[in-house]
Structure 1
Amino acid sequence: MLRWTVSSTDSFLIGYNDLDNEDNWVEADGTQHSYSRWRSSEPNGGVLENAVMMYARDADDWIDVNVESSRQFICKADIGASAIPQPTVNPSCSNGWESNGGSCYYFSSDQKTYSQAQTQCKSMDSDLITIDSEAEWNYTLGYIRYRYYTRDYWVGLTDIGVEGTWVWENGGKEPTGTYHWLAGAPDNSGGSEHCARLDRYNGYQDASCDGAIYYICEDDLYISDAPRSIQTTIQSTTSAVITWTTPLQMDSQNADLIGYKFYYWIRNKQSETTQSVTISSPDTFELVFDSLSPGTTYEFYMTGYNSYGEGVASDPPGNFTTVSAQLRSENYALNIYRIAKGVYLQSHVIFSTEAITLQHCTNICTGVLSCQSVNFHHKATTRAKTCEINEGTRESYSSDVVSDSDYIYAGL
């Protein structure tokens, strides 16, 4: 049909492409066909030519071409077919940014050195892109191949700290020797190639950080890092304390941290025993668990969250085991505590919890190996009253004993 309606020199883009997989030529909808009309020695453009152009009047009329040049094109629609819906734009991404997964991406139209690019990204509350999954790798390559196949881009990967150890801006490492690196890379040619670019030939190449090229910024919508330095301290047969530090990047990507989610369960019983605790403050770094089972191993993980939801979870899960219940003889139990009303031992509190009665408070102390006495706030108007677990006794620390009518002291 085209031979009778256009000039002999006209050419058109058609839907065939190998954008997703090099040398795997498919229709625009992903359909594969055995029919083709490649010109002799075509296709020959490799990773730089991923679209197909058809000449209107040549007998062998297909050649592979780049995707960036403007050309005539032919559209096809089945009779009665509805319009293809346009891609959904994430309203959380700023104008000019692209959305994929839980991140927004900015593909620059200007060129900068590595440090200039990172500064520019941070000015937009983002960082140079960290590619930490196959899905993200495929998305980034696909986006570039569709639009900017001749461009090289800075990514957030350097070995500036230690030669040969390639680290992402978020602290993750990218091992050398993977297929993501181009053949022979990284090679630190000239001893001055310490920044990685995503090369137009679809792989990482080390380069001088002072060169000016395009760059990709990434803004994680969700918290991009897990809480660090998580520590557990067992306080009793039924109590444990969890402490942690903030996520790694609090200057830009995670500045919108709202708080933390903590999930815990009895080992090997995750599906039926998982419980959660929400801490609605980014400045809280301690969580006290009471009412645990004695002599039981628990596993747990933590995650930060913001208005979009939960972020990266701590991995692997942590664990702790509570102290087994202490068994003492009946005569020992009857004589174990000496009680003094209106007395308070200060400066020796191991931790503070709540108890309903003095007996409840001393029972907690009995289960704590280092507990030697308690301060019980018996005049509190609430049902659950303050129970302070002490590591010393009033006999051992007489100078720290004060009068306080609100408290009852009970010591070994």
Structure 2
Amino acid sequence: MQRIANVDRNKTTIALEALNGSSRSNLYRVNADIADIKRKQDDESTYRDPVLVKLLGWQRSENVLFKYFPDAVNYGTARARCSGYPRGRLATKVLRDPQAVRDINSRRYVDVNEDVTQPWVGYVDLVVEGTFKWADGGSTNHATTTWHGGQPDDAGGNEDCVEILTTSAEKVYLNDLTCSDHRHYMCEVDIYS
């Protein structure tokens, strides 16, 4: 066996091992270790461990971790899933961080030719029509986020939720959409050093 990573977590060692191809029991043990790591995703101390963060697919941006989820769900489901993480919510702060926006663009999360990939974010006008608010209470005007041409348009009088419509090297372009539509989504969690 070749050791890939050894992470000390509260006197518990999680060992991930690469298989040398000769043992099925090793495969089961590695799968069990991976399942254990995924269960730790709900433990907020996990977010301070850079190895586990990477293994779980999260990216870091200042004091926030963010992750793109390729499950097509409505806005309410996306918001609930993101809120299920400690200090979690749909993406807000990460969209106002220039470096994170460049990372989102370079990973090509958004495919303009496939609507469902355009992820939900935490920006809505559910309380007062036409007054969009970030889920974290952050500033509504920022250099890295802007409305796509002609947006918001509240088409059909029922577009209260927001998706990332497209990206450029330095900006995220937003679009208002009916909350019942199905889209991928992007979560973030606050972390503190």
Q: What residue is the counterpart of 1:131 in the other structure?
A: 93
Q: Return the match for 1:90 from 50, 63, 72.
A: 50
Deviation of residue 175 (structure 1)? 4.3
Give the fraction of aligned pairs with identical amino acids, expressed as a percent.
28
Structure 1 pair 156/122, CA: closer, same or farther in 2 (3 Å)?
same
Secondary structure at the aligned position of 2:164 is classed as strand
Q: Which of 203, 208, 227 is the aligned partner of 2:173?
A: 203
Superposed, 1:246-265 pairs within 5 Å as none
Q: Any idea what the Cα deviations from partners look like across 1:132-172, whole Å, max 9, x if unmatched?
A: 774x2441353244333412011100000111111111223
In the other structure, the counterpart of 2:38 is none
Letter of the 2:83 counterpart: K
Helix, strand or coil at the partner of 2:124: strand
SS at match of 2:159: coil
Distance of 1:205 and 1:141 partners within structure 2: 19
Counterpart in the other structure of 1:329: none
Q: Which has the higher contact order (CA 8 A, sep 6+)?
A: 2
Which of 142, 147, 154 is the matching residue for 1:188? Answer: 154
- 8 Å Cα contact 1:166/1:175 also seen in 2: no
Query: Structure 1 pair 115/179, CA: closer, same or farther in 2 (3 Å)?
Result: closer
Could you list the runs of 5+ residues in structure 2 that have no partner in the other structure? Answer: 1-48, 112-116
Tell me, in whole angstroms, the C-alpha distance in 1 between the residues paired with 2:94 and 2:60.
16
Residue of structure 1 equivalent to 2:128? 162
What are the residue-to-residue correspondences of 1:263-342 with 2, within 5 Å? 308=193
Paired position in structure 1 for 2:82: 121
**Residues 63, 190 of structure 2: 8 Å contact kept:** yes
Partners of 1:121 and 1:139 lie apart in 2 by: 18
Indicate how the Cα distance of structure 1 residues 155 and 141 shifts in structure 2: closer, same or farther if over 3 A, else same: farther
Map 1:103-122 to 2 at 5 A.
103-122=64-83
**Post-superposition CA distance 1:272-325 (Å, at most 9, x none):** xxxxxxxxxxxxxxxxxxxxxxxxxxxxxxxxxxxx2xxxxxxxxxxxxxxxxx
One-letter code aligned to 1:205: N
Summarize the Cα distance change of 1:132–1:149 in structure 2 as closer, same or farther, 3 Å threshold.
closer
Structure 1 runs (4+) deviating above 4 angstroms are: none
Contact 2:110/2:164 (CA < 8 Å) preserved in 1?
no
Measured in 2, the distance between the counterparts of 1:101 and 1:158 equals 24
Distance change in 2, residues 1:92/1:107 (3 Å): same
CA displacement, residues 38-70 of structure 1 (integer Å, 9 cap, x when unaligned): xxxxxxxxxxxxxxxxxxxxxxxxxxxxxxxxx
CA distance in 1, matches of 2:126, 2:53: 31
Q: Deviations over 1:192-235 (max 9, x none)?
A: 0001111135401111111110101001102xxxxxxxxxxxxx
Partners of 2:109 and 2:94 in 1: how far apart? 22
Q: Which has the larger share of helix?
A: 2
Aligned alpha-carbon RMSD (Å): 2.6
Structure 1 position 122, deviation (Å)? 1.3
Residue of structure 2 in register with 1:153 after alignment = 119
TM-score, scaled relative to structure 2: 0.60
Q: Is the 8 A contact 1:131 1:137 kept in 2?
A: no
Equivalence for 1:391:
none
Number of residue pairs matched?
A: 133
CA distance in 2, matches of 1:219, 1:127: 7
Q: Aligned equivalents of 1:179 and 1:121: distance in 2?
A: 21
Which amino acid in the other structure matches residue 121 of structure 1?
C
CA contact (8 A) 1:166 1:173 kept: no
